[in-house]
Amino acid sequence: MHIDVEQACILLRQGQAVALPTETVYGLAALFQNEQAIEQVFSIKGRPRNNPLIVHLSSFDELQAYIDYPLEKIKPLTDAFWPGPLTLVLPVKSTVIPSIVTAGLSTAAFRVPRHPLTLEILKHVGPLVMPSANLSGKPSATQAAHVEQDFGRDFPVVDGGPCHQGVESTILMPTPTGWTILRQGAISLESLAFVLEDTPELDNRTEDKQPLCPGRLFRHYAPHAQLFLEKTRLPDAEAIVGFSDRAYPEGYAFFPLGNSSSPEEAAQNLYGCLRSLDNAGIKAAWIDLDVPKIGLWATIAERITRAADRS
Ligand code: TXA
Ligand code: MG
């Protein structure tokens, strides 16, 4: 059910969860200090309670009230990327953030999203938690229609059009010696390195029982369809997910990610494409991952690899 900004503000203030557009993916929003509304968010998504949520703010100026960390150390990053798809995990002042948000950690994740409708809502109602608006484990929602597929036609959603970036924010955390990327995302490692004048580390210890980013423990982004990455599995597939400017063997349903020269296009189309496989009843697909593993392509490759992981 499509709602406008004013209705979204009313529902949020009443303690209801609503879906909102951001530049990355749609978010499932609740007031960050309303534990009951946040409980709703966890149960609507089927999300494990030990996976903390990102606090979304309307501007950098709001951050100071919550964090126990020198602002000047993060200013270059927020000047360059906020509003935008960068999430910062920072130590917080005790008790200012409910533990249901942080999953009991001494840090919390913050970002200022770049979507005019959601920024307007944030200015009216204050900080919101917003995990991606999809059933836990499934591909994220990059259109209002995807939210309705997961949560039903009656679920309130502000339709802000297709998401401009199409993949989630990059999550970055300071370390004693520099910065670590906890989740690759819409901002590339190379863009961060340029602003930081130092290359951030990539936290890819997926086997770790206690990763820095709890979300890494859970299955993610996966459609029902089985996804093959090795070319040798092509005969076992019914469909090909690939690029419009490349030639593939005939006899397969084709799901385009866009042009192979545009990682931006592939990012925008990725989750919609994975959802289309399921809508078309495809059981198994081969995905063309022959792309350079740098810049935004590295994020796309990571998402596809995780979506294909059935372990
Ligand atoms: O682009 C995005 O970030 C979207 C839009 C809606 O803003 N939101 C999003 O939220 O992707 P979610 O909940 O799907 O992913 C948040 C990730 C999870 O993997 C969680 O474990 C991690 O952020 N996270 C949250 N708080 C953290 C913390 N204090 N320390 C480490 N990781 C944290
Ligand atoms: Mg998510």
Give which of 100, 274, 299 is closest to 187, Cα–Cα: 299
Spatial strand order of the sheet with 239-242 comes to 226-228, 284-287, 239-242, 253-256
Going by CA atoms, what residue is nearest to atom 32 of ligand 1?
213
Q: How far is the CA of 131 from the centre of ligand 1 (A)?
A: 6
Q: How far is the CA of 258 from the centre of ligand 1 (A)?
A: 27
What CA–CA distance (Å, rounded) separates 276 from 274? Answer: 5
User: Which residue intervals of 82-185 are DSSP H helices?
Assistant: 99-102, 116-125, 144-151
Q: How far is the CA of 205 from the centre of ligand 2 (A)?
A: 19
Full-prediction pTM beyond 0.95?
Answer: yes
Query: Does 135 sit in the ligand 1 pocket, CB within 6 Å?
Result: no
Shortest-distance atom of ligand 1 to CA 169: 1
pLDDT given for residue 207 in this prediction: 57
Quote the DSSP letter at residue 195: H
Q: How far is the CA of 101 from the centre of ligand 1 (A)?
A: 10
Half-sphere exposure in the Cβ direction for 61 (13 Å, CA): 3
The pLDDT tens digits along the chain (311 residues) read 999 999 999 999 999 999 999 999 999 999 999 999 999 999 999 999 999 999 999 999 999 999 999 999 999 999 999 999 999 999 999 889 999 999 999 999 999 999 999 999 999 999 999 999 999 999 999 999 999 999 999 999 999 999 999 999 999 999 999 999 999 999 999 999 999 999 999 986 655 556 788 887 787 889 999 999 999 999 999 999 999 999 999 999 999 999 999 999 999 999 999 999 999 999 999 999 999 999 999 999 999 999 999 87
pLDDT given for residue 208 in this prediction: 56
Query: Does 169 sit in the ligand 1 pocket, CB within 6 Å?
Result: yes
Q: How far is the CA of 285 from the centre of ligand 2 (A)?
A: 23
pLDDT given for residue 304 in this prediction: 97
pLDDT given for residue 140 in this prediction: 98
Query: Does 52 sit in the ligand 1 pocket, CB within 6 Å?
Result: yes
The type of residue at 148 is E
Kindly list the distances between the CA atom of residue 172 and the CA atoms of 84, 87, 169, 200, 216, in Å, as whole numbers in the listed order: 13, 6, 9, 9, 14
Query: Does 215 sit in the ligand 1 pocket, CB within 6 Å?
Result: yes
What CA–CA distance (Å, rounded) separates 191 from 171? Answer: 13
Main-chain phi, psi angles of 81, to 5 degrees: -120, -10
**Ligand number with the minimum distance to the CA of 160:** 1
Taking the alpha carbons at both ends of the chain, their separation in whole angstroms is: 35
**Ligand number with the minimum distance to the CA of 203:** 1
Query: Does 25 sit in the ligand 1 pocket, CB within 6 Å?
Result: yes
